[in-house]
A = this chain, B = another copy of it.
Amino acid sequence: MDTTSSLPRGFLWGAVRAGIKPSGRADLSAIVAPHTATAAALYTTNKIQAAPLLIDRRHLAANGGRVHTVLINAGNANCATGEAGITAAEECCEAAAEAFRCAPQAVFPSSTGIIGVPLPVEKVRAALPALRAAVGDAAEYFASVAAAIMTTDTRPKTAHANVHMDGKQVRIAGIAKGAGMIHPQLAAPHATMLVYLCTDAAAEPPLLQKLLTAAAETSFNRISIDGDTSTNDTVLLLASGASGATLSDSNSSPFAEALSEVCTSLAKQIVADAEGATHLVELNIRGAASDADALRIAKAIAHSPLVKTAWAGSDPNWGRLIAAAGYSGAEVDPARITIRLGDLVICERGGRSANFDEAAAHRYLTQPEFAVDIDLGLGEGACRFWTCDLTREYVSINADYST
């Protein structure tokens, strides 16, 4: 398997300015599979779900798991907008269906931005002719979508992988956005993380769903920026079949591995671009009584303002880590806990390590990426999780009363 920037065949990408983002930047995107693609999707488990997610479920069910056009607007989440929001999403699908010549049910709408403000359908409708003229299959079109779906992101997020299968080249390309309200809790048939994965393998929707669910579990479901699970999180995998290779239960392992790599890369890119963050932190929890306990500890640490602010100051205050483990709900025996920052042992048997070197620990934590390893000494439970620090800049971004 090699990872190059080659794009899956059978897709067109494009983006234009519809005037939804107050900044006036490109904010309306399309991913088009002219011969339609099979699809699998995951949505947020938040019980408040944005209107487009309701439409997405309805359309995938009605259309046999097939998608022709993905229509994505940034700048407005179309969430907590009541019945009017659902009507607005439907009107956008009808307009997109007309522009891209497909059935309305073959349109997969997505929205991201502010919650509780009516979606300006007229702006979407007015921009669709320009959007139809703006789509293409080259790298710059793909890149234009990655840029147009951004909200508080500072940079676009993309990842690629190629797999050789049955003598053919199969390509996977992914686009993601998300820098805040990021603690995806996706469930098989789940942001405001938005992720669009395209491949030119052929696959039936149930197999795609199985592959996507497995890949998301150890990538998007293992990241948290602020602990806030969005109402709009969506991960969509589209398979055009244009490579000529067909995925089956028996031959899908290399594809599954490549898909997992693309998802993990995008998940880490999201955390690395977290609102105001200056450190990408990898948590390795091991020795827990169960994998579920390891995840409980990772989440408690990833959601602790005291831990996250200490990281912002490169402060090796491991007492805050052990306190978070203690209230996580996981089984914990203080006398068995070992904590390492990279290779530096800072806590042994629940107390400060005799080898604790505060200056070295502080230096290690000044790096833009670092790892915190916690061994509970109890069992075989483990998990890997990515999170970030909490900075003054995060507060500034989210406390500004015009956003």
Which residue numbers of A lie inside 8 Å of B, CB to CB? 44-49, 77, 79-82, 84-85, 114-118, 180-181, 185, 226-231, 303-306, 309-310, 312-315, 317-320, 322-327, 331-332, 334-335, 347, 349-352, 362, 390-392, 394-401, 403
Q: Across the interface, do A317 and B47 meet the contact criterion of CB distance under 8 Å?
A: no
Q: Across the interface, do A48 and B332 meet the contact criterion of CB distance under 8 Å?
A: yes
Q: Across the interface, do B326 and A47 meet the contact criterion of CB distance under 8 Å?
A: yes
Q: How many copies does the complex hold?
A: 2
In the assembled complex, the Cα of A156 lies from the Cα of B358 at a distance in Å of 32
Q: Across the interface, do A48 and B304 meet the contact criterion of CB distance under 8 Å?
A: no
Q: Across the interface, do A312 and B228 meet the contact criterion of CB distance under 8 Å?
A: no
Q: Across the interface, do A46 and B305 meet the contact criterion of CB distance under 8 Å?
A: no
| Chain B residues, CB < 8 A from A323 | 46, 48, 79, 115, 181, 228-231
| Chain B residues, CB < 8 A from A314 | 401
- Quick one: closest B residue to A48, CB to CB? B326
A310 → chain B, closest Cβ, in Å? 7
Q: Across the interface, do A351 and B82 meet the contact criterion of CB distance under 8 Å?
A: yes
- Quick one: closest B residue to A84, CB to CB? B351
Q: Which of B117, B303, B304, B391 contacts A399 (CB 8 A)?
A: B391
In the assembled complex, the Cα of A45 lies from the Cα of B228 at a distance in Å of 24
Known A48-B334, A228-B324, A305-B394; 17 more pairs at CB < 8 Å: A47-B334, A79-B319, A79-B323, A82-B349, A117-B352, A180-B306, A227-B305, A231-B319, A231-B323, A309-B398, A313-B398, A315-B399, A315-B400, A315-B401, A315-B403, A391-B399, A392-B395
A253 → chain B, closest Cβ, in Å? 34
| Chain B residues, CB < 8 A from A399 | 309-310, 312-313, 315, 391-392
